[in-house]
Structure 1
Amino acid sequence: MHLAPPSTVFEDIRVDFVSTTEGDHQRGFVPGYHFRILNSDGVNVGHVNFRVGDTQHVRLAAGHIGFGISEGHRGNRYAGKACLALAPWLATFNERVLITADPDNLASIRTIQRIGGVYLDEVDVPVDDPHYLRGSHRKARYLWNPSQVEQAEAGDHRSAGA
């Protein structure tokens, strides 16, 4: 696996590397990186994950990128900013990454569209996938090219030590 990036600042958030996760080949899970998102006050407001690899689970359910923002901190575009903060590093893995969302999760869909994700299609989640077992039966799929994030749109983007 690649080295994790240093803490990265983007506008009013910082993204810190937390850990890597091992894949589980039997279940179709790929290795990944877990990051936390901190607001300008240093409060942990959520997380973003990056999954490395290509399996049915990634293609039809999880995607390469997943994010979540704590309920009290939603509406501040933290998830999108975290993705943009990681874009240069993500581009060293893949030219394009797949991001999925439940079709009725409008906040996630708006986030994906704001960062430049392009709608592909909507697919059924396999019945044996953990997402299906948690109630997620369909996924809207988007392709995002992190290497095409323009600095003009990227705002204040630097390593935390800069």
Structure 2
Amino acid sequence: MEFEFFDFDVIKGEEIDLHLMNTVPGNKEKDWVPAYHFNITLSGLTEPIGKIDIRIGHNENLYYGGHIGYSVKKEYRGNRYAAKAVLLIKKVAHTHELEKLFITCNPDNIPSRKTCEFVGANLLEIVDVPEDNDMYQRGEKEKCIYEWVCT
């Protein structure tokens, strides 16, 4: 059965909106799952202040890489926009019937850890990244593994 992407052109929030930029199909050879990529904007505007993506499915890579990835431009940090984007992207998770998601970050990334805590994710453990994982090859040796129950 082929994966079905749903229409999430814009997900509106009170302070920010998520604008769908593209979708990426899964790649079985690389063990990648399908993903949605969004720009984060201030509500009603189109200039990106950051990005967020959500990967749909479950596999070992997602335990280390997470279902959700985000970044916010430096000049917009400190406003909890990443956490607000995570809360908005819950709509995509619900549509795909995902109830538990992993969000990961490097142990020294305190702002990302605070984002995970703000949305109610629980720290499961801090783990060593397997040597055969792409992240390890890029120099990322440890990950905080948060579990987010987004029901």
Give me the TM-score of the superposition, normalised by structure 1.
0.83
Question: 1:83-110: CA deviations, max 9, x gaps?
Answer: 1112233123311111111111110010
Match of 2:68 in 1: 65
Structure 1, unaligned runs of 5 or more: 148-162
Aligned identity (percent) is 34
Cα distance in 2, alignment partners of residues 27 and 2 from structure 1: 20
Cα distance in 1, alignment partners of residues 126 and 72 from structure 2: 23
Structure 2, unaligned runs of 5 or more: none
Cα distance in 2, alignment partners of residues 78 and 51 from structure 1: 19
Cα shift at 1:6 = 4.1
Higher relative contact order (CA 8 A, sep 6+): 1
Match of 1:27 in 2: 30
Cα shift at 1:4 = 3.2
Match of 1:150 in 2: none
Question: 1:43-99: CA deviations, max 9, x gaps?
Answer: 20111111112222111x211111111222221211111111122331233111111
Q: 1:110 aligns with which of 110, 114, 120?
A: 114
Cα distance in 1, alignment partners of residues 48 and 123 from structure 2: 30
Match of 1:100 in 2: 104
Aligned length: 146
